Amino acid sequence: MAAPETKRKFVLASRASQLAQVQTNIVRDALAKLHPDTTFETSFMATGGDKNQSQALYLLGGKALWTQELEVAMAGGTVDLLVHSFKDVPTVLPEGCEIAGVIERESPLDCLIVKQGAPWKRLEDLPDGSVVGTSSVRRIAQLKRHFPKLVFKDCRGNLNTRMAKLDAPDGPFAAIILAKAGMVRLGWGSRITCDIGPPTALHAVSQGALGVEIRSNDEQARALCRSITHWQTEWSCFAERACLRVLEGGCSVPVGVYTTLTEETTEGGARRAKLHITGSVTSLGGETHVQHSIEAHVDSVQEAEAIGAKLARVLIETGAREILDDISKDREARIQQAKETNEKVDA
């Protein structure tokens, strides 16, 4: 779908990390290739999630940590398009904002990276008691089910920081787990020890995809975004996001997904696909795990979203609600404990 050319300048904004800048440049270059007569510039800023590196994401709240400052800038008109790692985007956006573009997905899988020079090839190879770093409660919950003798420890920071923590000679980590897509986009694929995927672990919602957010009343920006959208990725990710939205909303919870979408031939050339989506919810300690899959033919992104929402309802009916309620109580208790600790220190 070709967007109309315009002399207006568009500013693409994202977080200031190296990966965020690389991803923003991917989107900028895709737009510039299709619209050579339009000017595209970039702008980068630190968000709340970047500024607070001391607390676990689990206790910090929703994914708006990564997007709020950017959305304020866009609402004020200083930037026009926000480029996100789609997995970091809340499932409910502020009024007046929408995801208008979705770039073709890199691998959605997680991956294992071991300390430089270490001999291990898989999680199964790590000695009992080895410390594995990750900032994701989803990864910890799922992997505790399969590797109860490993120790999982929070590891915050951008990819450069986490890789430095891993390789530090006196550092605690034998290995870390990251999204494979980020490693590939930064050109660090050679450091990947192995992929981690089904049946061991399902990935995060929309992991590996880039989402482009705009002001809902900006028709020119929407047209540009549609011109670079990979509809197969869009349908898959919107199905996954609908599942998460029904299950939880925005906080960091151990929800995993795995989706395949197979394009089908139809008379008249209309878009149609077979969507297979698996979702899971796991207790924080890995003791309880609920998983289900749905396969259906879909003719639009809205139908894909409906399937994702249906999957969430099945998970809720088969035990996910109890797991999520327990997680919510645990988070509230830990937040209260942290507040009391801070109050005692201040006193």
Contacts of residues 334-340 at CB distance under 8 Å and 24 or more positions apart, as own/partner, are 334/58, 334/59, 335/59, 338/55, 338/59
End-to-end Cα separation, the chain, in angstroms: 62
Return left, alpha or beta for 237; rule: phi > 0 is left, psi -120 to 50 is alpha, else beta.
Answer: alpha
CB 175 within 8 A of CB 94: no
Confirm whether 88 is a catalytic residue: yes
DSSP string, 303-321: HHHHHHHHHHHHHIIIIIH
Residue type present at position 153: K
CA distance linking residue 321 with residue 33, whole number of Å: 46
CA 265 to chain centre: 31
* 255: nearest Cα among 222, 231, 284: 284
Would you give the DSSP letter of residue 94? P
Look up residue 157 and give its DSSP letter. S
Q: How many helices (H) and strands (E) does the chain have?
A: 11, 13
Among residues 37, 50, 80, 88, the one annotated as catalytic is 88
DSSP string, 28-42: HHHHHHH-TTSEEEE
Active site residues: 88
